[in-house]
Amino acid sequence: MFRIIIFVFLLVVPFTEAVRAQTNALETSSLALIPAPQQITYQQGHFSFTNAMPVAAFENFLQTAELLSEHPHIRIGKVDLIKKRKQIPKQGIRLIEAEEQDALANNAFRIVVDSSGIALTAHRPEAMIHAIMTLVQIAYLQKDGSQIPYLEMEDAPRFSYRGLHLDVSRHFFPVSFLKKYLDLMAIYKFNTFHWHLTDGAGWRLEVKKYPELTQKAAWRNFASWKEWWNGGRRYIEMGNPNASGGFYTQDEVRDLVRYASERGITVLPEIEMPGHSEEVLAVYPHLSCSGNAYENSDFCIGNEQTFTFLSDVLSEVIELFPSQMIHIGGDEASKKAWASCPKCQQRMKDEGLKNVDELQSYAIKRMSTFLKSKGRQLVGWDEILEGGLPPEAIVMSWRGEGGAVQAANAGHDVIMTPGNPMYFDTYQSNPLNEPEAIGGFVPLSAVYAYEPVAEGISGDKIPRVLGVQGNVWTEYMPSTEHVEYMVYPRALALSEVAWSAKNKKDWEGFQARLQSHYLLLQRLNVNYYRPSFKPYTKADFQFESGSAKISISSEQYQPVVRYTIDGSDPDASSPRYTEPLELFKSALVKSATFSDSVRLGEIDSLKVDIHKAIGKKVFYNNPWDTYAARGDSTLVNGVKGGLSYGDGEWQGFTKGGLDVMLDFERREEIKTVSVRFMQIAGPGVYMPGTVSLETSDNGKDFREVQKIKNDIPPGQTTLTFKNFNFNLNGRMTRYIRIKASNPQGGYLFTDEIVVY
């Protein structure tokens, strides 16, 4: 009997341990950290936080240890001082200063969780902060954050600069929100808050020497930037019943800088110059070229008082912000007034400057010299390259990567923030269903796919890439809730781009881990963007087979998507999409997301056209401008453009509008021709005035068949698509010519000329 009991016991124990191990594996898999760490291994077991948890730290980390109070299940009392490694306690939370034998990189940290508690090891406070905030993230990711699995983790950042920007000029946001913004930055290991404090829509920083900057230049007669922009762009005195705006006192700034520093974040202030300065020139018009308020947007570079003002302002900025770098903007100066201003022309003559670009460079270099004399370093958008760049300046890319590539190869440090995909004021999903934004289309996947070390940067210049930043321009973000909606979860994708090693990036893995972070964002009351249920369908023409490859994607994680190809609406009995489809003839593809038998969200619809013009020769009587897409093949490659003119399928035309000719190589019977345009007025993309179709048999003598007048008003700001459809009733012709006028002078974008 005794032997039987022992035998049963031996059978049960391994089985129980196996179940426990499996359970632990399932539980620890929920530690879906973002950004992805370099190394993490799990052991069997969990450590539970208690109310009386002892905390001890080396002297270098005594202040940092206070950050443990951010953890929802750690209660900090007195932090015991560890004087020597021999005195490290055996239990509790221990903040250990690394030594050579720890084999830990200078910017790295290590976390060990076992039955004794938690040991955090690092060389520097900044790295220790990242270790602590990793514990905080783990707690919020789990349903029961009072426990943490046994683990050993080691991590370090890929880039030294990991930034998130916020424009508070277009819309003013309270300090309480800025602290929440910083809290989230710390959890996701950002280390620089780029604070865009001044711009034409409002001056937001108290400057003791120039009180009118906050008495008037910080206030306007419309709360909405858009209404103000379209309503005269005037400033009014603080205290006026219609005044909207605000500013940060110097005490508030000091408090925010301290708060950020405690979380390992540097606050990088931006004071715009020489352009985007309408608010300053409205209250100090003598600093403009005209001397009159509301006439100029750029400082007068020929006026010595301009540099007195800017130096005075930056002197107070330097006292408030300990950051090594000071951002001066430098973008979008019109320079128009400089060309006719006697003072500016005299300055150019005195300094031997050839043009207004060199005049801007003179101003930038002068401010750089001033900052250098104060032990600081100038940062500017890549337009500071125009006319020559100060050797010590740092370039922050703006609309594209070209300027940063140029600067890096010339030996300057650069920070990558290209307009696509690092602008979070762009649409992140179908604009037709989203609140108004500036334009563009930057989904989560585009942010994650970005590689900061741009092609074209020489191998030996790669260390010049300090890091990457996401920019949050707030023209169309009037509230804190709207800012969060636009920033999250895109900022999570950016955090992994900025922190994790390149070989650790994995889109599918990121998507899986992201599912756990919605709980974290909900717990912290973040109004993040919810993924759309509506699928997205794309067709790629396969020239070898003459077929169209149909791919259906979704913002949902591992959704059940059902589709049809006969134009009917999909239902619960429709086939489930599991892999790309191949179609050999035109079809209307519809798809939708389902849960059991219930359809979730809208139906997506794509007309797949396998038509006569695919692969035919296109002659451009007027060349494309900037947006080449796929070059000569764009308009007849069988691929329709998506929601953004920057997706590589939309071709852009400006001055002369669209004027193209298609050659079918022999006379063909043409029944219909269709060409699609988009409009999104914010970035200057408009419908054509008219679109005409002409035919010819010799490619020289053309006859107009039909002209269609556009009926979409230019003031319609929401994203709009329009097909201009021509009926030729079976006309025989070899050549067709399509012309589209451009009365608005902006961009015309078209993606595919469909011919049957």
| CA gyration radius, the chain | 30
Look at residues 186, 177, 213, 180 and name the one whose alpha carbon lies nearest to residue 197: 213
380, 330 Cβ separation under 8 angstroms:
yes
Query: Which of the residue ranges 483-487, 538-542, 572-576, 717-721 would you say has the lowest mean pLDDT?
Result: 717-721
- Given a cut of 50, is residue 27 above it in pLDDT? no
Average pLDDT of the residues in 317-340: 97
How many helices and strands (H and E) does the chain possess?
Answer: 16, 32
DSSP-derived 3-state class of residue 180: helix
Angle at CA of residue 21, ends 18 and 25, nearest 5°:
140
- Given a cut of 60, is residue 586 above it in pLDDT? yes
Question: Which residue ranges make up each domain of the chain?
Answer: 1-26, 31-155, 161-523, 536-608, 617-755
Average pLDDT of the residues in 82-94: 95
Average pLDDT of the residues in 709-729: 94
47, 71 Cβ separation under 8 angstroms:
no
Residue of 77 and 298 predicted with greater confidence: 298
517 catalytic? Reply is: no
276 catalytic? Reply is: yes
How many residues in the chain? 756
Alpha carbon distance 644, 650 (integer Å): 8
Read off the pLDDT band of 439 (50, 70, 90): confident
Alpha carbon distance 477, 480 (integer Å): 8
Read off the pLDDT band of 309 (50, 70, 90): very high
Query: Could you read off the pLDDT of 238-295 as tens digits, one per residue?
Result: 999 999 999 999 999 999 999 999 999 999 999 999 999 999 999 999 999 999 999 9
332 catalytic? Reply is: yes
Alpha carbon distance 338, 361 (integer Å): 13
85 token code pair:
């490694």
Fold topology of 161-523: TIM Barrel (3.20.20)
319 token code pair:
């006292």
Q: What is the pTM of this model?
A: 0.91
116 token code pair:
């004794």
Which positions ≥6 away from 295 have C-beta within 8 Å?
281, 285, 288, 337
Which positions ≥6 away from 612 have C-beta within 8 Å?
664, 668, 670, 755, 756
DSSP-assigned states of every residue in 464-492? GEEEEEEB---TT--SHHHHHHHHTTHHH
Task: Give the helix, strand, coil percentages of the chain, each rounded to 5.
Answer: 30, 30, 40
Average pLDDT of the residues in 131-138: 98
Query: Could you read off the pLDDT of 493-537 as tens digits, one per residue?
Result: 999 999 999 999 999 999 999 999 999 999 999 999 999 999 999
Which residue type is seen at 350? D
Alpha carbon distance 491, 497 (integer Å): 10
Which residue type is seen at 611? H
| Count of Cβ atoms closer than 10 Å to residue 325 Cβ | 23
In this structure, is the dihedral angle defined by the CA atoms of residues 646, 649, 655 and 657, taken in order, positive or negative? negative
Catalytic residue among 155, 167, 199, 555: 199
Query: Could you read off the pLDDT of 211-220 as tens digits, one per residue?
Result: 999 999 999 9
- Given a cut of 90, is residue 188 above it in pLDDT? yes
- Given a cut of 90, is residue 25 above it in pLDDT? no
Catalytic residue among 130, 276, 412, 611: 276
Counting residues of the chain whose pLDDT is more than 90, the rounded percentage is: 90
Alpha carbon distance 369, 376 (integer Å): 9
Average pLDDT of the residues in 361-384: 97
Per-residue model confidence (pLDDT) at position 400? 86
120, 130 Cβ separation under 8 angstroms:
no
Read off the pLDDT band of 199 (50, 70, 90): very high
Q: Distances from the Cα of 415 to the Cαs of 122, 257, 333, 469, in angstroms? A: 26, 21, 21, 7
Per-residue model confidence (pLDDT) at position 288? 98
Query: Could you read off the pLDDT of 153-174 as tens digits, one per residue?
Result: 999 999 999 999 999 999 999 9
Per-residue model confidence (pLDDT) at position 273? 98
Average pLDDT of the residues in 2-11: 32
Fold topology of 617-755: Jelly Rolls (2.60.120)
Whether the ω angle into residue 149 lies within 30 degrees of 0, i.e. cis, is no
Average pLDDT of the residues in 467-479: 98
Per-residue model confidence (pLDDT) at position 433? 87
Per-residue model confidence (pLDDT) at position 20? 39
Average pLDDT of the residues in 633-651: 92
Longest dimension (CA), the chain: 111
**Over the chain, what is the mean pLDDT?**
94
Fold topology of 31-155: Chitobiase; domain 2 (3.30.379)
Residue of 478 and 29 predicted with greater confidence: 478
Burial of 109 (0-12, 13-18, 19+ CB in 10 A): buried
Q: At what angle do helices 175-187 and 250-262 cross, to 10 degrees?
A: 20
Catalytic residue among 332, 357, 358, 647: 332
Please report, in angstroms and rounded to a whole number, the separation of the first and last CA atoms in the chain.
Answer: 88
2 token code pair:
């005794």
24, 42 Cβ separation under 8 angstroms:
yes
Average pLDDT of the residues in 657-663: 97
Per-residue model confidence (pLDDT) at position 398? 87
274 token code pair:
């020489």
Per-residue model confidence (pLDDT) at position 30? 59
